Amino acid sequence: MIVYEFKCKGKDKQYRAIDDAIRTSQFIQNKCLRYWMDNKDKKVDKYALNKHCAVLAAEFPFADELNSMARQSAAERAWSAIAGFYDNCKKKVKGKKGFPNFKKYSRSVEYKTSGWKLSPNRKAITFSDKKGIGTLKLKGTYDLNCYDIKQIKRVRLVRRADGYYAQFAVDVDVRIESQPTGQVVGIDLGLKYFIADNKGNVEESPQFYRKAEKQLIRANRKKSKKYDPKKKKAKQPQSTNYHKARGRYARKHLRVSRQRKEYCIRLAYSAIQSNDLVAYEDLNVKGLVRNRHLAKSISDAGWSTFRSWLEYLGHKYGKVTVAVPPHNTSQNCSNCGEKVKKSLSTRTHVCPHCGFVEDRDVNAAINILQRGLSTVGHTGTYAWGDLPSWAVGASLLSSGESLSQESPTL
Ligand SMILES: [Zn+2]
């Protein structure tokens, strides 16, 4: 699967219709979740949820307006959350199992193979269900003409701070033959450096969020000043100026997330291009982010984005990516294997057993590579084949947008 993304151009009325479709999709997703919660004794499965869609359509006219396959997509979203929860329970994951939540701020609606039609030159798309979205112009440099319409498996409409986007999931294998480089690399993800490898190369942390923080705080303050709690109490809409300020704030955030993403992709691309095998730590980023002191830096670093792209590009260029268990990679001596205890602030690894001296992160990267080489074949939990391709895409795209030259897979 490959995803092409276009900006949509339409009239205000059409954008409101997209909002309505997104809302309906969210409604169905939540109703399906509710149905599952209320009928736990009846073993509700994927197919039961799909059937429940028809019940909802009969009961609620606005649900009936949405294309039937788009309704199914919404039910599938609910199911994937439920299935993820079951999976975590089965695997006995430590801590929270990710019990599915009701969605409040959905940003997209997904059509499958019906309910839409591309124009003859494929520069516009018309939605034919009763939501009244109509014809949207597609702005972008990609050309959909080189694919058979049957290859387009899904069309997703996404709302962002700076407008509406259409994503096309095209069923095509992206694998590209590449020459072996004879090189392998171990990568340590750090806070001081974004990444360090076993050869001693380090990449500074770009800290896009921290750099933009002042501006973000200022924009947020301006937004708050225009917020009127009395209006909230009286259930009246906030002022136009408030919504303008809110948009400005959201667009600034969008910019930071795009910067971070492009940076991650560039690093992942160069690691994949110059190596045959890339080993990295199988970090539980979610668990780490809960530590308040590290949270901002880790979220800012965008490790999970980096990793998703590493795995995707590895798949694309036929390279091996290995996620290794992170235990003691920074503590053990990569030269003699003895454990050398050090705190987070100790930046250099000095081994009292064999005299080996190396930068802390580089020492860890060497350990990671050694582990990676000894476990080839056992790729990590998030490694490509383990997830349905669609789920990988969902995480690649969760922060928003695709890159200008490269489109991530679904
Ligand atoms: Zn040693």
265-283 per-position pLDDT tens digit? 999 999 999 999 999 988 7
CA-to-CA distance for 26 and 18, rounded, in angstroms?
Answer: 12
Question: What's the rounded mean pLDDT across residues 311-329?
Answer: 85
Same domain for 46 and 114: yes
Give 294 Cα–ligand 1 centroid separation in angstroms: 29
Same domain for 68 and 19: yes
Same domain for 71 and 109: yes
Question: What's the rounded mean pLDDT across residues 288-292?
Answer: 61
Tell whether 394 is covered by a domain: no
Give 330 Cα–ligand 1 centroid separation in angstroms: 12
Give 350 Cα–ligand 1 centroid separation in angstroms: 8
The parent domain of residue 326 ranges over 184-209+250-379
Give 355 Cα–ligand 1 centroid separation in angstroms: 6
pLDDT interval class at 402 (50, 70, 90):
very low
Give 337 Cα–ligand 1 centroid separation in angstroms: 6
Q: Which of 140-154, 339-353, 364-378, 394-408 has the lowest mean pLDDT?
A: 394-408
Give 335 Cα–ligand 1 centroid separation in angstroms: 5
- CA distances (Å), 284 to each of 229, 262, 289, 324, 347, in order? 39, 22, 9, 12, 22
Whether 332 contacts 293, CB under 8 Å: no
CA-to-CA distance for 199 and 196, rounded, in angstroms?
Answer: 8
Tell whether 190 is covered by a domain: yes
Give 237 Cα–ligand 1 centroid separation in angstroms: 65
Q: How many folded domains does the chain comprise?
A: 2
Give 357 Cα–ligand 1 centroid separation in angstroms: 8
**CA quadruple 50, 52, 58, 62: dihedral positive or negative?**
negative
Query: For position 384, what pLDDT does the model report?
Result: 37
Query: For position 70, what pLDDT does the model report?
Result: 95
Q: Which of 8-17, 116-125, 388-397 has the lowest mean pLDDT?
A: 388-397
CA-to-CA distance for 392 and 409, rounded, in angstroms?
Answer: 8
Residue corresponding to tokens 């802390």: 360
Tell whether 13 is covered by a domain: yes
Give 172 Cα–ligand 1 centroid separation in angstroms: 49
Give the pairing of strands 277-281 and 184-189.
Answer: parallel
Tell whether 106 is covered by a domain: yes
In 3D, which of 271, 310, 288 has the Cα closest to residue 395?
310
Compute the mean pLDDT over every residue in the chain, rounded to the nearest whole number: 85
Same domain for 196 and 152: no
Q: Which of 52-56, 119-123, 187-191, 227-231 has the lowest mean pLDDT?
A: 187-191
Give 200 Cα–ligand 1 centroid separation in angstroms: 17
For the chain, what percent of residues have pLDDT higher than 90? Answer: 51
Residue scoring higher pLDDT (240 or 175): 240
CA-to-CA distance for 89 and 86, rounded, in angstroms?
Answer: 5
Same domain for 254 and 164: no
Same domain for 133 and 29: yes
- The three-point CA angle 176-181-184 to 5° equals 110
Same domain for 205 and 129: no
- The three-point CA angle 155-98-47 to 5° equals 50
Query: For position 401, what pLDDT does the model report?
Result: 35
Query: For position 132, what pLDDT does the model report?
Result: 93
**CA quadruple 321, 324, 209, 240: dihedral positive or negative?**
positive
Which structure tokens are listed for 5?
């993304």
Residue scoring higher pLDDT (190 or 89): 89
Which structure tokens are listed for 170?
């095209």
Give 341 Cα–ligand 1 centroid separation in angstroms: 12
CA-to-CA distance for 55 and 100, rounded, in angstroms?
Answer: 22
Residue corresponding to tokens 């219709």: 17
Tell whether 371 is covered by a domain: yes
Q: pTM of this prediction?
A: 0.77
Query: For position 59, what pLDDT does the model report?
Result: 96
Give 339 Cα–ligand 1 centroid separation in angstroms: 8
pLDDT interval class at 392 (50, 70, 90):
very low
Is the confidence at residue 399, as pLDDT, over 50?
Answer: no
Give 282 Cα–ligand 1 centroid separation in angstroms: 24
Query: What's the distance, Cα to Cα, between the start and end of the chain in Å?
Result: 5
Question: What's the rounded mean pLDDT across residues 28-32?
Answer: 96
